[in-house]
Amino acid sequence: MDKNKGIFSLVGFLLAGIGFISIVLSLIGAELSFLTWLDSLGRLVAFLIKIVMILLGIVIVYLAQSDFKGEESIIE
């Protein structure tokens, strides 16, 4: 996992960034060209998918940056 930490962090940041940028752009009436298919599903569904993209990106970055080796089991 340590060698893939940077890749997972990059994917998480890209996912969260694209979701955030697409929400901001939709407020001014623009959209990213590769996400135009989302609006065909409906405005609410597209908005919820963008929110999920942001949350999933944050979770991926958090998990990629966490060090689980340093945690010890309480139950022995």
Q: Which residue type, as a one-letter code, is found at position 32?
A: L
- Write down the pLDDT at residue 4: 83
Which percentage of the chain shows pLDDT scores above 90? 57
Q: For 26-51, what is each residue's pLDDT tens digit?
A: 999 888 889 889 888 998 999 999 99
Q: What is the C-alpha to C-alpha distance for residues 5 and 46, in angstroms, rounded to an integer?
A: 29
Res. 3 pLDDT band, cuts 50 70 90? confident
Angle between the N-to-C axes of helices 5-27 and 43-65, in degrees from 0 to 180, rounded to the nearest 10: 150
**Does 17 score more than 70 pLDDT?**
yes
